Amino acid sequence: MRLKIQGGRPLEGVIRANGAKNSVLPILAATLINGGINILHNCPDLRDVTSAINILEHLGCKVTREGKDVIVDSTVVTRWDVPDELMREMRSSVIFLGPIIARCGRALLHTPGGCELGPRPIDLHLDALSKLGAVIENEGGAISCHAEDMRGRDIILAFPSVGATENIMLAATACRGATRIINAAREPEIEDLQQFLRKTGAAVYGAGSGEITIMGGRTSFDTEHRVMPDRIETATYLCAAAAAGGDLTVKECEPEHIGTVIEKLSDGGADISVSGRTVRIKARQRLRAMPFVRTMPYPGFPTDSQAQLMAAACVADGATVFHESIFENRYRHVSELERMGAKIKVSGRVAVVEGVSRLHGAGMMATDLRGGAAMVIAALAAEGESTIGEIHHIDRGYEKIEDALTSVGAMVTRE
């Protein structure tokens, strides 16, 4: 499967943001904990969501999908292992470790292994869980945990890891006493997970600040929860309009979740207005370069929008310097963008983008989820036709991206 894109057309119209991939995944894992019925609204239809549902069904849960609703009945859980083939489907399936331990008192997972962004260590996850009392053996790619009697305590994270913060929150619901996560990740998806956990009766406080407290002791109510909008999908469409030009509105999003992206695009001369849950971008003239972009943990500039902003910087007037401080190998999209005439120099975690007046269409292969999105953005801005292969990467995080873009005037087909 590949996407074929005729570039050079402005984006005009309205796109609705879908539910957030990086929120629905930990919440799906968390549905294991309450041993009841969990009705989730605004779930995006993504490959990663299907992978998470496959894991839940493997563990014994009954899962049904009705449009954007996913209902998980975790009353019966018959297994505590996630086999290799299911772990390989989705790198972030390590998020199941905490909830399986909380529910079953033990877990057997296969290490998710590296991914296209470089090695994806889980040392912070395992170190924290062992401090809570889990006995962890990690050999030959399999992680086996026993945690019959976990006790809450302070956990200081060396890095505000999103996944480690989520895994600790989920495991701590089954600990005796209080667990306090210090230097916790502050991403909005962590707050969404806290809201979900509170609906199951768990006592969780502080998400969004650098310190989260979880009072253990299982209380388990059935839940109903609406997944927050996808801030990275919203940022992606804003970068697309900035690159291709036009007048695009994204509705049902949370503008304050992408303040740093809006700020950078505004620095580049895009006219962006925010009203409630709507963001509108007017890009009538060529973007100016945005001098320096450093990715940081939330609320800093999101690493998940670095590639997309780089695609817009490729056709901006002037030079933009990127510093990717979160992942060690998150410039794999650069060589593909260069095939379209982009001028980019990479040295370690720094990339210097020299804007060109026009990109030309080319044949490309998606390297990873957000790198693939960057290629789509560059193709929309380029003169002529582009094709992008390996689009399963893109389908992991964007629901029918060709339909969304076509609905606002782009010429994108899947073939």
Q: Which residues are catalytic?
A: 115
Q: In this chain, which of 42, 161, 213, 249 binds ligand EPZ, going by CB under 6 A?
A: 161
State yes or no: residue 303 binds ligand EPZ (CB under 6 A): yes
CA–CA gap between residue 55 and residue 61 (Å, rounded): 9
State the minimum distance, in angstroms, from the CB of residue 49 to ligand EPZ: 11
How far is 308 from 389, CA to CA, in rounded Å?
A: 17
Smallest separation (angstroms) from ligand EPZ to the CB of 274: 23
| Closest residue to ligand EPZ in the complex (CB) | 163
Residue 1: CB atoms within 10 Å:
11
Q: Based on CB atoms, which residue is closest to ligand EPZ, 283 or 375?
A: 375
Confirm or reject binding of residue 181 to ligand EPZ (CB under 6 A). Answer: no
245 binds ligand EPZ (CB under 6 A): no
CA angle 400–406–408, rounded 5-degree value:
120
What is the contact mask toward ligand EPZ in residues 67 to 106, using x (rule: CB under 6 A)? -------------------------x--------------
Report the nearest approach of ligand EPZ to the CB of residue 372 (Å): 10
Taking residues 359 to 378 in sequence order and writing x for each that binds ligand EPZ by CB under 6 A, - otherwise, the string is: ----------xx--------
| Beta carbons of 129 and 136 less than 8 angstroms apart | yes
Query: Candidates 74-82, 157-165, 202-210, 243-251 — which segment interacts with ligand EPZ by CB under 6 A?
Result: 157-165
Tell me the per-residue interface mask from 110 to 129 with ligand EPZ, x by CB under 6 A, - otherwise.
----------xxxxxx----
Smallest gap from Cβ 89 to ligand EPZ, in A, equals 13
397, 399, 402, 412: residue in contact with ligand EPZ (rule CB under 6 A): 397
- Nearer to ligand EPZ by C-beta: 31 or 249? 31
> Which residues, 322 to 341, sit near ligand EPZ by CB under 6 A?
326-327
The yes or no reply on residue 28 touching ligand EPZ (CB under 6 A) is: no
In the complex, minimum distance from the CB of residue 309 to ligand EPZ, in angstroms, rounded to a whole number: 14
Q: Examine residue 159 and tell whether it contacts ligand EPZ (CB under 6 A).
A: yes
Binding site residues, ligand EPZ, CB under 6 A: 21-22, 25, 92, 120-125, 159, 161-164, 303-304, 326-327, 369-370, 397
